[in-house]
Amino acid sequence: ILPIDEGKPKNINSVEFVPVYPGCESLDTNKEKIACMSSKIGEFIQNKFRTDKFNDLDPDEIYKVYVKFTIDTSGAIKDVIFRAANSKMEDEGIRVVERLPKMVPGKQGRCKCQCNVYATDCFQSELEKNKNLESVYELFKDGFFDLL
């Protein structure tokens, strides 16, 4: 059993061993594991996001979203913040991110630690107005967001 660091969460890019998303365990470096996590989270969100709630968004507008969440010492997701210009999108983003699967927690030395994940992305609808959305405006087409 590893000791647990109950201090403040650390930035995912500054821990010795990053949290590991299910399916990314075989990768060697933190950089590879973060890229894998980004891709897997993007797939998860793309599959779970309820796109029918956003038929009223302007397809010509560029939307920017910000996400912050913590992976705790058990690997669970907590403290999700999802910011967007549209409150329905914020609510849906929080709903989906809170349902991410449990991960292997990050470690600093031999201690499990909480890790903050910060992300941002811009997106724009490529669909004409009044058409039913088949995706979240290409929001997650290139994996998750740029992890900061």
Residue 25 three-state SS: coil
- Interval 34-47 mean pLDDT: 85
- pLDDT tens, position by position, 7-22: 889 999 899 999 999 9
- pLDDT tens, position by position, 67-111: 899 999 999 999 999 888 778 888 888 998 999 999 999 999 999
Looking at residue 49, what is its pLDDT?
76
Share the mean pLDDT of the chain.
80
- pLDDT tens, position by position, 116-141: 998 877 665 544 433 434 444 344 44
Looking at residue 130, what is its pLDDT?
38
Token readout for 65 is 């979203």
Single out the residue of 61, 65, 69, 117 nearest to residue 89, CA to CA.
65
- Interval 38-52 mean pLDDT: 80
Facing residues of 65 across strands?
121
| CB of 49 closer than 8 Å to CB of 136 | yes
Looking at residue 58, what is its pLDDT?
75
The pTM score is 0.80
Residue listed under structure tokens 């039913």? 132
